Amino acid sequence: MPSPSVLRRALARIPDRNVWIIYTAILLLGVAYGVSIAVLAIHLKANGIPELAMGGLAAAFAVGIVTFSIPAGWIVQRFGAKATLLVALAGYATCVSAFPFLTTTTGLSIARFFDGAFSVGVWVAAETALLSRSNATNKAFVMSLYAMSLGLGYVFGPLLALGVVAGAGTGGSFVAAGVLALVAAVVILLRLDGGRSSQAAGGADHHDEDDGAERTPARRVLWRIKTSCLATFSYGYFQASVVLYLPLFLIQSKGVPKERTILITAFFALGMLLSTTLVSRLGDRHGHLLVMRSLGAVGGVMVASFVLLSSFAAMCAAVFVAGATLAAISPVSLALQGVVVARRDLGRANAFYNAAYAAGMLLGPPLSSVFFTKLGGAEMLLHLAAIWATFVAFTLVFANDDPKRAARKGAAAQVSAVAE
């Protein structure tokens, strides 16, 4: 947990109370996610859902995100962050609570579709509000605390799931997740400032001067954030795959009892939680894309090495390091797009960003299921490592997408010209 001194420094850097209210709601939602995701594979397996069908359910979740990610940007711009958050949180609570009462693949797929649709509404609204309330020098810090709020939820959620499963079975965990999401909605309703604008005072940065200008064409916005989009695509592909198939790999190939696999999610989130603030400072100071590339390289190697591990303790340590690197990419990639697009384009940029995340989630599970069922769990993990290697190569090709690198090269060129 963060120390009191760390919290005081964070409060000093982020005086806007609305930012902290959003963090609170996201923390509650993160616990809800952690409670439900920790038991998802076990619940589906216990109810006779085969591995290939699990990939289909994950795809339904991703299709919901893809379908509503772009409209979510328009909805936030039209109705504001508060209204969007309220409706999306209430919708997610309804979907996740209904999940244990559905017994057919069709019913489960519909629930997962709307689960994804309402989830992306929360993400786009929260991310747009947070980026617009931060300035160019602390965007990664603000987004790191957003990621930490989710991360804390993913740490506490699986621990809470252990108790809920013991008392109410896996189905009770989904109902508990719904209650937590409703509490988050109440927090937003009672405490978050209303109004259609998500751009509070105190979030001024270098984009403010062009707020009244014509909007940037969508294709140009997308090109500017391509490295952030590939980062979140890779993470969505990876996350959606390992949530479903890593527990099964541990059970079938490593002999880990299924109850212990619930703790894997907590170790992954704990790694992200402990590293994300440091990583965000490095990104704000030295360049977001440079940090993203380093994290992707270390995390990809860790995923590949996981195949060779035999003890559960070593597996937990590997998952911890993977969380500290791969999961920590998300706030830095959000911060990167926050400094390369104008404030007026943030809603659309976040919509594209979440669409890329959903595309990864859509492709990851079905392709990973083919690797898992046809080749094996080890091959499935190695192909995930290859995804991260591709991302690292992409960031090398487009290294100048990072404004700090471009600025350093410009300064070096000026010095060279003066010397000549």
Contact yes or no for 350/224 (Cβ under 8 A): no
**What are the backbone dihedrals phi and psi of residue 136, each rounded to the nearest 5 degrees, phi first?**
-65, -20
> Is it the case that residue 11 has pLDDT exceeding 80?
no
* Residue predicted with more confidence, 416 or 70: 70
**pLDDT tens digits along 58-85:** 778 878 988 998 899 889 888 888 999 9
And the tokens for 407? Answer: 């600025």
And the tokens for 31? Answer: 């616990």
- Residue 272 sits at the vertex; the CA angle it makes with 338 and 166, to the nearest 5 degrees, is 130
First to last CA, the chain: 53
Task: Region of 185 please: left (phi>0), alpha (psi -120 to 50) or beta.
Answer: alpha
**pLDDT tens digits along 156-183:** 888 899 889 888 888 899 999 999 999 9
pLDDT score, position 412: 46
88-97, 100-109, 307-316, range with greatest mean pLDDT: 88-97
Amino acid at 324: A
* Residue predicted with more confidence, 96 or 10: 96
Confidence category of residue 12, pLDDT binned at 50, 70, 90 = low
> Is it the case that residue 32 has pLDDT exceeding 90?
yes
Contact yes or no for 152/7 (Cβ under 8 A): no
Give the chain's mean pLDDT.
83
**pLDDT tens digits along 347-402:** 888 889 988 988 888 888 888 888 988 888 889 999 999 999 999 999 999 988 88
**pLDDT tens digits along 99-123:** 889 888 889 999 999 999 999 999 9
3-state secondary structure 332-375: HHHHHHHHHCCHHHHHHHHHHHHHHHHHHHHHHHHHHHHHHHHH
Confidence category of residue 5, pLDDT binned at 50, 70, 90 = low
Contact yes or no for 335/140 (Cβ under 8 A): yes
> Is it the case that residue 22 has pLDDT exceeding 90?
yes
pLDDT score, position 54: 78
pTM, 2 dp: 0.74
And the tokens for 381? Answer: 């993990």
pLDDT score, position 321: 93
CB atoms within 10 A of CB 108: 22
pLDDT score, position 239: 87
User: Cα dist. 342→115, 131, 214, 229 in Å?
Assistant: 30, 11, 11, 17
User: Cα dist. 414→23, 36, 252, 285, 398 in Å?
Assistant: 42, 55, 60, 21, 22
- Residue 272 sits at the vertex; the CA angle it makes with 377 and 136, to the nearest 5 degrees, is 130
Quick one: average pLDDT of 184-191?
94
**pLDDT tens digits along 202-259:** 344 444 444 455 678 888 989 999 999 999 999 999 988 887 788 888 888 877 777 7
Q: Compute the distance between CA of residue 97 and CA of residue 173 in angstroms, rounded to an integer.
A: 9
**pLDDT tens digits along 38-60:** 888 788 888 777 776 777 787 78
Q: Compute the distance between CA of residue 267 and CA of residue 24 in angstroms, rounded to an integer.
A: 22
